[in-house]
Structure 1
Amino acid sequence: MKAWLLALCTAALASGTVQSQTLRWASQGDVQTLDPVSQNESFTNAMNGQVYDYLVARDKKLNIVPSLATEWKQDGPLKWTFKLRRDVKFHDGRPFTADDVVFSVNRAKEPTSQIANYAGALGDPKKIDDYTVEFNLQKFNPIFLEHLNSVFIMSKSWSEEHKVTKPQDFTNKEETYAARNANGTGPYMLVSRQPDVKTVYKRNPNYWGKIEGNVQEVVYTPIASAATRVAALISGELDFILDPPSTDLERLRATPGVKVIDGMENRVIFIGLDQARDELLYSNVKGKNPFKDVRVRRAMYQAIDIDSIRTKLMNGKAVPTGAVVPSPLGSFNDPEIEKRLPYDLKAARKLMADAGYADGFEVTLDCPNNRYINDERICIALANMWAQIKMKVKVNAMPKSTYFPKQEKLDTSLYMLGWGGSVTDAETTFTPVYRNRAPGGIGFYNRGNYKDDELDALCAASTEEVDPAKRKALIKKAFLRHNDQVHHIPLHRQFIPWAARGGVEVVHRADNWLEIQWVKMQSPK
């Protein structure tokens, strides 16, 4: 780490008051934006979730519980009615009402929102009175409450006042007031924001709910260097790190005053391929696209020694899978769906030869270097493995702040992506990731831009099927179709160990979400 960067991180850490009720924590990357629907990235969502509330929230086991809505009922398959919590104030003192709910849901449907497909599935919100909102759906939504748990509630009047009635266009580097300022109803209030340096929050003294923990101030510092993060934790400059490197876990377990909190994450890591262009953007193959050929995609899949990645890179803290879905619950723990293609170099070389690429080809693999566990190292390992089938793969690794806008423009030929969060149902993978790209956020994360009408129809049908048994059958068919066509190359589901000082108590949620209102810190002796 360069000396100037180390000095910057040290200064940022030192600026927080060292006391038992100040939580000083870090991870490798920063919040992408404070606009709560501009980016659908888990870490960004979790940080914004300290300031903004949903109508329905998640408890410690990821169950849906009341939040800004106190109760709800479903009147048939196409209508939901919600009663809102009274006497709630936004951080600047504005009252929370049904107008804010209707505004926030409609704002989340805008093209620059990355949860447009989730918000669109909520139907049309309608104000009945100041504390009652009705949702009328055009079609049945089997996971309505899960989708509702993706829309943060903003103040309508605050958004109008600051000209942020539409989400920030993050992809095209738009700067808006909401990108660096926040006004929610949540347990913590934004104090200051210095992108890539430090973000500070303070406890909301007028929070409507009960805060279990005792954290009064939060100082978050992004620190790219894993070694620096670990050193800061061991020295006591930090109280918590979200992403300790797997290679340091045993050392941390043996360090007095430090503890490791283990847990598996609802997140699958996979590789996507441009299957749309007639010629790849970043390859030496001219006049055709090798990734359009399923034999090439299968060859790449079968050239991956996934067990070596699991044992050597992840230190056993990963579960290989053949299903591109965050949790095995999404695939019903079905062995047929979860089964990987076998690692078989002989078969892979034959597939490459049959496809006309016995001598391989050159291509660039885009990869983040501060988003997933060992992301860049995995990409380098994959490049070495694909060299065994004579592919020359250049790894183009970059920070997530650069990586995600590049992907959103489909400016890629081959890429790594992780997909996860609190929802285990297949729907929130199928619609944004598996389906053909279409308006309303459908297929938005289909960055390979493949078009598979059979798969698209199966996914669409499963979204609307009311009968649980019929829906399960449709979901299985969709998974098997996707796996057969190798539209993505699955790798593994990652474990997320956290590390903290001994006196810090946290709740490890499977969506890798640090809920600060649950954090308890012991006073120094």
Structure 2
Amino acid sequence: MFTFSTLMRAIAVVLVAGAATFATSQAADLRVALKTEPSSMDPHFHVYSPNIMVGMYTFDKLVNFDEKMNLVPGLATSWTATDDQTWEIKLRPGVKFHDGTALSGEDVKFTIARAISIPNSPSSYERFLKPITNVEIVDPTTIRLKTAAPFPLMPRYLATFAIVSKKHAENLQTADYNTGKAMMGTGPFKFVEWVKGDRIVFTRNDAYWGEKAPWDKVTLRPMGSDAVRVAALLAGDVDVVEQVPTTDIANLKSNSRVSLVQGPSSMMIYLAMDSSRDASPFVTDKQGRPLDRNPLKDARVRKAISKAINREVIVDRVMEKNGLPAGQIQLDGTFAASPRLKPEAFDPDGARKLLAEAGWGDGFGLTLHASKNHYVNDDKVAETIAQMLVRVGIATKVETMPSASLFSRGTKLEFSFLMAGWGSNTGEPSEVLTGLLHTNDPAKGFGGANRGRFSNKELDTALEQALVTVDKTKHEQFLVRATEVAREQDGVIFVHFQTNTWGLRKGLTLTPRVDSYTLAAVVSEAK
């Protein structure tokens, strides 16, 4: 059995064996321990955070997100809506792929066609590229993207997919990326090898068009175990580890051989409730008997649940001060975050009053379904929320399961009350509003993750207007209003944002990113 004492003895051994390595680590090489290994090197195979992050070492995008998910130029220097259904993109001149081939509009056109047609993709890029109906190459550095309807999100969607070389990728498949045959990008690093389960290796692209990376060589090492990652950092076997567990943060802060960097994450933890069915499978009376009516349909009950949750306690004690209470989809200060929305105040008396007003003064029973080891301390957060609800009269049990089961069963509407998380891929709330809170409408692509079947006409209207309003100010106003309606009606309950924590060998520093990506280009020797 693997115990804490076993881990400590293992660390003691590797500390002795690795002390010289730690002390003599060469500044020109960087070794990074990843929490999760990518599923492929093909940048279009899977919309999956580990794949996206690793792809950014070799490939570039037309538009980039900075560390706060603001849009900044990438391979495109400008993007302009010339009319409601046309976006003109100017490509950066002088950019070359790693073999010296010049980037052109042909590569962009090829990429868009390729990315929507990858066989056996677990999660396709089609959702980001489907609005584009035609790609017109005006000249080698100018392209026009046509859409069937106004599409204000185009610049943000251009920041989601990597540009590949038509010369090298044409007629090649995902397997050719995994072997390295097709790994020809314009990015800051050149691909060397992927030994699955062991390492991914890159070397610096000295001809990179942007700021040169400070590392000659980067080795990414997948280490799924939190304990193994921390032990590797302490032993000097790696220079950077991502997703430091909250239980180790205090000890690492006091260790003179390492340093920690922390920053807010866009990953928002929320509670979804069955607000549509008259009878719900895991809603009972306090003795566990099924009810023939569903209290979660009443907005007052949903608000009572929100008021019963002490977000400060969750962040301070369960997350060990590594999180932020959430009051909406986006972090404060980001695009389309409402300045009027603050986290719901803890108010158990107010919760009891609302339950009584709604006719549930005697309480009822719920089961909260949640993942285990998918989000940070997810099972502990779920148990804490359940205890808080019990105190206002809602007898709440918790059932945890692997995330794949939670999402699959939740999509089949098998639950009444579930906890999950969402971090926007686009740096604004429309993706979450579209998937999580708009009325379920598969034909139009709305509500695919709306596992509580929340429905509100005002929210739907505001979101749909935002999605076809190119004027940036009006577009943001519609998104803000949709977010405010979601909060007013508690379509889901926003609990907290996770905090990202990286561990580094002493002497290194890192620029933390809201999207949680660990990029060697933003790791450097501390000055």
TM-score range, shorter chain: 0.7 to 0.9
Structure 2 CA distance for partners of 1:61 and 1:273, relative to 1, 3 Å: closer
Deviation at 1:486, TM superposition (A): 1.0
Cα distance, 1:386 vs structure 2: 2.8
Is the 1:433–1:446 Cα contact (8 Å) retained in structure 2? yes
Contact 1:296 1:355 in 2 (8 A): no
1:190, distance to aligned residue in structure 2 (A): 4.5
Provide, for residues 103-148 of structure 1, a one-character-per-residue CA deviation record: whole Å limited to 9, x for no partner: 4334555696455443345564333345432112334344432221
Q: What is aligned with 2:483?
A: 479
SS at match of 2:497: strand
Matched, 1:219 2:220: yes
Tell me if the contact between 1:265 and 1:493 (Cα under 8 Å) persists in the aligned partners.
yes
Q: Superposed, which structure 2 residues align to 1:63-82 within 5 Å?
A: 63-82=70-89
Match of 2:309 in 1: 304
Partner-residue secondary structure (3-state), 1:376: helix
Mapping of 1:44-123 within 5 angstroms? 44-59=51-66, 62-85=69-92, 96-108=103-115, 113-121=123-131
Letter in 2 for 1:379: A
| Whole-angstrom distance in 2 between the partners of 1:92 and 1:384 | 59
2:466 counterpart SS class: helix
CA shift at 1:202, angstroms?
Answer: 1.2
- The whole-number CA distance in structure 2 between the counterparts of 1:154 and 1:281 is 48
Deviation (angstroms), 1:253: 2.1
Check 1:247–1:425 CA distance in 2 against 1; reply closer, same or farther (3 A cut). Answer: same
C-alpha distance after superposition, 1:48-104 (max 9, x if no partner): 222332112234565433332344444244322223356756568877543332243
8 Å Cα contact 1:258-1:500 kept in structure 2: yes
Residue 145 of structure 2 corresponds to 135
Partner of 1:420: 423
- Residue 446 of structure 1 corresponds to 450
Does residue 1:29 correspond to 2:36, yes or no? yes
- In the alignment, what sits opposite 1:495? 499
Residue 457 of structure 1 and its aligned partner are, at CA, apart by: 1.1
Task: Give the match's secondary structure for 2:163.
Answer: coil
Equivalence for 1:516: 520
Distance 1:103 1:364 in 2: 46
Task: Note closer, same or farther for the CA distance 1:386–1:474 as it changes in structure 2 (3 Å cut).
Answer: same
One-letter amino acid matched to 1:302? K
Structure-1 separation of matches of 2:379 and 2:178? 28
Give the distance between the partners of 2:47 and 2:278, measured in 1 at CA.
30
2:38 and 2:50 in contact (8 A); partners too: yes
Asked if 2 retains the 8 angstrom alpha-carbon contact of 1:27 and 1:224, the reply is: no
Pair 405,2 (structure 1): closer, same or farther in 2 beyond 3 Å:
farther
Query: CA-to-partner distance for each residue in 1:334-383, whole Å, 9 max, x for gaps?
Result: 23x2251543156347627945594533424122513x332232122223
CA distance in 2: counterparts of 1:74 and 1:262, whole angstroms: 37
Match of 1:395 among 399, 412, 429: 399
Q: Percent identity?
A: 24
Structure-2 change in CA distance of 1:391 and 1:207 (3 Å): farther
Specify the SS of the correspondent of 2:215.
coil
Q: Contact 2:266/2:423 (CA < 8 Å) preserved in 1?
A: yes
Q: Measure, in 1, the Cα distance between the counterparts of 2:292 and 2:309.
A: 27
SS in 2 for 1:100: helix
Q: Deviations over 1:422-481 (max 9, x none)?
A: 754433433343323435654334343433333111111123335555445433432232
Separation (CA, whole Å) in 2 of partners of 1:289 and 1:194 = 52
Between the aligned partners of 1:281 and 1:108, the Cα distance in structure 2 is: 40
Identify the range of structure 1 (508-517 vs 418-427) with the bigger mean alpha-carbon deviation.
Answer: 418-427
Structure number with larger C-alpha Rg: 2
Contact 1:325 1:429 in 2 (8 A): no
Report 1:306-345 matches (<5 A): 306-335=311-340, 337-340=341-344, 342-344=346-348
What amino acid maps onto 1:385 in structure 2?
A: M
Aligned to 2:466: 462
Contact 1:279 1:289 in 2 (8 A): yes
Normalization by structure 2: what TM-score? 0.79
Q: 1:58 to 1:362 in 2, by over 3 A?
A: closer
Contact between 2:335 and 2:476, CA under 8 Å: does it hold in 1?
no
Letter in 1 for 2:396: K
- What is the CA–CA distance in structure 2 between the aligned matches of 1:223 and 1:8, rounded to whole Å? 17
Contact 1:273-1:414 within 8 A present in 2 as well: yes
Asked whether the equivalents of residues 156 and 426 of structure 2 are also in contact (C-alpha less than 8 Å), the reply is yes
Unpaired segments of 5 or more residues in structure 1?
Answer: 165-175
Residues in 1 aligned to 2:525 and 2:454: alpha-carbon distance in whole angstroms: 49
Q: 2:388 aligns with which of 369, 385, 389?
A: 385
AA paired with 1:318?
A: G
Rounded Cα–Cα distance in structure 2 between residues aligned with 1:133 and 1:469: 25
Give the secondary structure class of the aligned counterpart of 1:338: coil
CA contact (8 A) 1:117 1:442 kept: no
* Aligned residue in 2 for 1:360: 364
Partner of 2:432: 429
Match of 1:246 in 2: 246
CA displacement at 1:246 relative to structure 2: 3.0
Query: Which residue in 2 is equivalent to 1:233?
Result: 233
Deviation of the 1:300 alpha carbon = 2.4
Partner Cα separation in structure 2 for residue 33 and residue 132 of structure 1: 31
CA distance, structure 1, for counterparts of residue 342 and residue 145 of structure 2 = 36
Aligned partner of 1:149 among 152, 159, 172: 159
2:268 paired residue number? 268
Shift of 1:151: 1.9
The Cα shift of 1:501 comes to: 0.5
SS across alignment from 1:263:
strand
Paired residue secondary structure (1:262): strand
SS at match of 2:233: helix
In structure 2, the residue matched to 1:168 is none
Counterpart residue type for residue 26 of structure 1: A
SS at match of 1:49: helix
Alignment CA distance shift 1:91-1:468 (3 Å): closer
Change (3 A) 1:356 1:58: closer
Residue 287 of structure 2: aligned partner: none
Match in the other structure for 1:172 = none
Q: 1:442 to 1:327 in 2, by over 3 A?
A: farther
Q: Distance in 1 between matches of 2:98 and 2:346?
A: 54
Corresponding residue SS for 1:363: strand
1:200 Cα offset (Å): 0.9
What is the distance in 2 between the residues matched to 1:104 and 1:38? 12
Q: Give unpaired runs (5+ residues) of structure 2.
A: 285-289
Query: What SS does structure 2 have at the residue aligned with 1:47?
Result: helix
